[in-house]
Structure 1
């Protein structure tokens, strides 16, 4: 059988392994950590609190279902999820509270009730976003931006008329501020820049398509939490014959002439016709391909933001909170200036709280909740993270306690922290940036590394640091794009 090696078992690597196995390859996945998942791991804290360590939002679930279908399985027999009736609970410093219902119509009605924005105005905005998404997604998200075939496909005929409305020449914030006058709604829409680690005051207006995923398609929750995505897909991969080897970091990608021929680890050499790197593209070149010319323009693109995450076991339940909750800062522009220009954390950061025990009660003891508390922060560039962890913790407790009218500090019974240095060490994400490079300029999408090597045949790239970007859906799409470029193996896997 033709052989393939996948470096890293993040969600992109797992998906690539499954797709290659279906194409007839004998696949080996090599993972430096003790288990699979990359950022999509889980852990428990004393007292019976379970946490998903990284990603917490799940959209476009059909991309997971597709992997089971490709393997001849019925997706619902192996992986189940439900659509959320409420996407997010929003809290503003002025005391405004808003429930973002999953239905675009209900969301627009709530915005009219709470913010005074005519519901028809928001509904028309979301309809426009849906139209532009459907006109452009197959060109910009489902195919390589670095292949001529993409621009010669029929999908481009749908994309071209939509280009003038995409906001390529303006920023997210400028576009949102033109569309709506209420600063709270503008802030709510601006926050979608953080879904790929960017700044709404710099990122192009094209990112305003992101809300379509939540309000026109839906946000979802997998049975058992986000970790269940990786867990179910690894099981599928194993059923297809994929071998997962843990605690075995790759030391070098082997080459001969202009072709990748396999990889080397401390345990030996794995020869392969196809090598797929799910490792961040920067350490892939710097550590695994030190003797090959690197695409410096790409590797030196500005990094995305990172995260400072507090995992708290809370000795109380909060019925006013849901799975996803946002506590906004007073001055959003100042917050992003601190992240991307000053490379630090503002005194009044926006706080995201994810509570999976709302949907999986066993994730916390009776009467308790498991709080995943996240603040967007800069990537690691040598900051004093110990000081920032303490300072930000105080800001978060002060802010959320005031919003809920409860002193939260005495309720914390268990705690763990993940900062950019830890994220970098645990996941090989360069500088702890969650999404590789940021999207803070109009050419950012085209400057992302392609899903294939232009120098070495047989070498491909998946994951959040390459096209089309970070987050669960885009990582799954990166695996599809990359493996579609891989020729079918001569042997066939029996599903």
Structure 2
């Protein structure tokens, strides 16, 4: 029997960050990863012809959460990881032909909106200021601490959050708030889009989530040198320097327990003993597959899932100077699009298309004169839909939408292609149904209904990553690691 003091299941960004934090505090940590390498959704894709893509996450905000991990270890972050602030952040293409550039400078963005959409710049700035105040008042409570420990509610941060409650919009939806704030439906659509940052529906998600734009427009969007995958690479390098052991191609088959305590885990290679396990897997397969003899929190596991993604990785044999790192091509009917995803569990025939291109900042990501297009559509999680048919239908719709907006037939320019659909996402990352963010945030209490970062029944079992509190996406996964580390060391 091989003994290991602390084990982490899954080398996604949450698991890697947790490993770093625990190693800094003196734990000996072993990370078990089913795949051949680290990163989880934050992997990379390489296609013939010299095209490289970030496989999953493509937007980077709150970079101080990464820097903090190096600083905790007494390292200079810039020796491992560098990034720059994006300006502009996103290019928006509306179905009627209007184009809006989201500049990093708040005043410049507000003027752009006034010029292109006729919405007063003052209205835009007032909305963004309100978004920032809501974020500042609530982040300390709702994002940086466990919502499932009584001590959290004795913190001074709670008083700030309680004072802000009337402004948070718990009884209205994001769409209702945006519709009340802006006279132009195109700007409403632009801000409604931020619901997709945690896989939700702006027509159902609470107006509380209208604070999300502050991450980009108040704090900033950033691009890491070498792409998003460089985040995982740099943190794994740090973890290994701190003594963390990564065991790849070794999926965990069972978490072992006895009398309400964690006692070890089993893989195909060995059985290991230790008293603490952190699961970076989605909570659903953690309970269903790794804890088969333990009662599962059925109410938590049965919550509605977030959206998933259908991603086309295209090597494109031309450069498009009008495109930036982040580009959005909006559908004509946004409400219909979300009804298809969350109501009918299918893909709208006219979906909004997101295109991420990194070769402009990292030239080695594509051959000279070419671009690497990461093309994503929000879709429902896998429930047995006819994905081959949906992929073919959506590919044609994407080409129509983008080709029309750019005035160029994109299809003949595609030199390399790879597709990642919800079943593929589920298979590679163990995300239940391929849902990218675990449960959706389509009701006002969603933050409180997420699974805690610890087990109430099994001493020594903890959870990090996108399916538990505080949620999915790079920043929230990093914050989950912070919460777990504090729980394990207090």
TM-score normalised by structure 2 residue count? 0.99
Q: Which secondary structure state, in structure 1, belongs to the residue aligned with residue 92 of structure 2? A: strand
In the other structure, the counterpart of 2:81 is 79
Quick check: 1:262 aligned with 2:264?
A: yes
Runs (4+) of structure 1 exceeding 2 A deviation are none
Hey, what does 1:133 align to over in structure 2?
135
Deviation at 1:479, TM superposition (A): 0.5
Corresponding residue number in structure 2 for 1:17: 19
Tell me the secondary structure at the aligned position of residue 262 of structure 1: strand
Distance (whole Å) between structure 2 residues aligned to residue 2 and residue 159 of structure 1: 40
Q: 1:443, CA displacement in angstroms?
A: 1.1
**1:275 maps to what in 2?**
277
Task: Please say if 1:375 is aligned against 2:384.
Answer: no
Paired residue for 2:35? 33
SS in 2 for 1:136: helix
Q: Match of 2:223? A: 221
Question: Does structure 2 conserve the Cα–Cα contact (< 8 Å) formed by 1:5 and 1:270?
Answer: no
Q: Counterparts of 1:13-412 in structure 2 under 5 Å?
A: 13-412=15-414
Compared CA separation, residues 313 and 2, structure 1 to 2 (3 A)? closer
Local SS of the residue matching 1:486: helix
More off after superposition, 49-58 vs 259-268: 259-268
Structure 2 Cα separation of the partners of residues 110 and 386 of structure 1: 40
State how far apart, in whole Å, the 2-side matches of 1:101 and 1:387 are.
38
Q: How many residues align?
A: 488
Report the secondary structure of 1:416's partner residue.
Answer: strand
Q: Is the 8 A contact 2:135 2:214 kept in 1?
A: yes
Contact residue 2 and residue 24 of structure 1 kept, 8 A: no
CA distance in 1 between counterparts of 2:134 and 2:402 reads 36
SS at match of 2:254: strand
1: CA distance, partners of 2:473 / 2:235: 16
**Distance apart, 1:2 and its partner CA:** 7.8
CA distance in 1, matches of 2:167, 2:226: 40
Deviations 1:136-185 (A, max 9, x none): 10000000010111111111111111001001000000111011110000
- Conserved? CA contact 1:2–1:25, under 8 Å: no
In the superposition, the TM-score normalised over structure 1's length comes to: 0.98
* Partner SS for 2:443: coil
For the residues of structure 1 that align with 2:316 and 2:33, how far apart are their CA atoms? 33
What is the CA RMSD across the aligned residues, in angstroms?
0.9
Instruction: Determine if contact 2:4/2:30 at 8 Å carries over to the other structure.
Output: no
Report the 3-state secondary structure (helix = DSSP H, G, I; strand = E; otherwise coil) of the residue aligned with 1:376.
Answer: strand
